[in-house]
Structure 1
């Protein structure tokens, strides 16, 4: 059984909000590291395919779109890695399976899930991410606390085994 990651509930709430605006990701990947200890962070990748069922227009996004959430510990900021905290990014997928350089989504790192959904929906519809503000998310403080605790627990353990999973979403 895969252990719970600190951002699981937040990403679940974002996926629900995305479904509410008709933007279902084809799959969602959550993990807690990329390079087995080189620099530690939490990550969620929400992949939107060019199928109409997932709400991505094939003429605009022929190979799909990635919505990315990351929480960096900031422990290696002096080595060029990101500062501590969360960030939302988006990236256009390419035909060879790679993606363009991720760009910031104009929402706070622990934005209300509906704010993330509206911003992404506008990006999909117009090519520009929306900046609509929605009230504070009730679980934001809990998410930050859990991510901070994860960062403290994982920082000294460079041999930490990564956790991750892919969730498939069949769309509506």
Structure 2
């Protein structure tokens, strides 16, 4: 995590705790940040790295051969200010995505998870399990919001503290727009 408290920190910590309890402990524990690209597009983000195949920390190079997730799985959360939505950037608010890690540390194009932006920790665990089992497959650049292999709709419900989190993110967004 960053050295200063960000609005999403308690939420992402709750997600990490739920994943750990479910036997999917993050390998590179979560980190959160506030980010900016192209000078104006600001957002909050968090990254959770999972090792569903047990190969990231393995010293056995051959363990990756044939593993379903040889280099890991990323769960990505972002909250966007929406200030560049007219230029094709995401609308204001939160979104969860996933991406498979590659050997060089980069990742495949992220795919939206079929969960609410402020999904409950249990919903994230359930969705992660479905991704790991390949019930939800990665999409591609041209099919944003379409989950290949998944027709079960939105998974789970919202986090019980979603209103508090939303207010904190909105306050952060207002501060960013003012500066």
TM range (shorter): 0.7 to 0.9
The answer as to 2:64 corresponding to 1:63 is no
Which residue is 1:10 aligned to? Answer: 11
Which residue is 2:177 aligned to? Answer: 155
Give ranges in structure 1 of 5+ residues lacking alignment: 158-172
Q: Within 2, Cα distance between the matches of 1:77 and 1:115?
A: 27
Q: Within 2, Cα distance between the matches of 1:64 and 1:127?
A: 17
Q: Within 1, Cα distance between the matches of 2:41 and 2:35?
A: 8
Higher relative contact order (CA 8 A, sep 6+): 1
Going from structure 1 to structure 2, the CA distance change for 1:10 and 1:53 (only over 3 Å counts) comes to farther
Which residue is 1:112 aligned to? Answer: 120
1:18 positional shift: 0.6
Superposition pairs of residues 10-89 of structure 1, within 5 angstroms: 10-27=11-28, 28-35=30-37, 37-49=39-51, 52=54, 58=64, 59-89=67-97
Quick check: 1:47–1:64 contact (8 Å CA) kept in 2?
yes
SS at match of 1:86: strand
Going from structure 1 to structure 2, the CA distance change for 1:137 and 1:116 (only over 3 Å counts) comes to same
Going from structure 1 to structure 2, the CA distance change for 1:18 and 1:149 (only over 3 Å counts) comes to same
Q: Which moved more, 1:107-116 or 1:57-66?
A: 57-66
TM-score normalised according to structure 2 size: 0.78
Q: Within 2, Cα distance between the matches of 1:12 and 1:118?
A: 17
Give ranges in structure 2 of 5+ residues lacking alignment: 57-62, 138-149
Q: Within 1, Cα distance between the matches of 2:18 and 2:166?
A: 20
Q: Within 2, Cα distance between the matches of 1:135 and 1:110?
A: 8
Q: Within 2, Cα distance between the matches of 1:109 and 1:77?
A: 17
Q: What is the aligned length?
A: 155
Quick check: 1:21–1:121 contact (8 Å CA) kept in 2?
no
Aligned-residue RMSD, C-alpha: 2.4
TM-score normalised according to structure 1 size: 0.81
SS at match of 1:23: coil
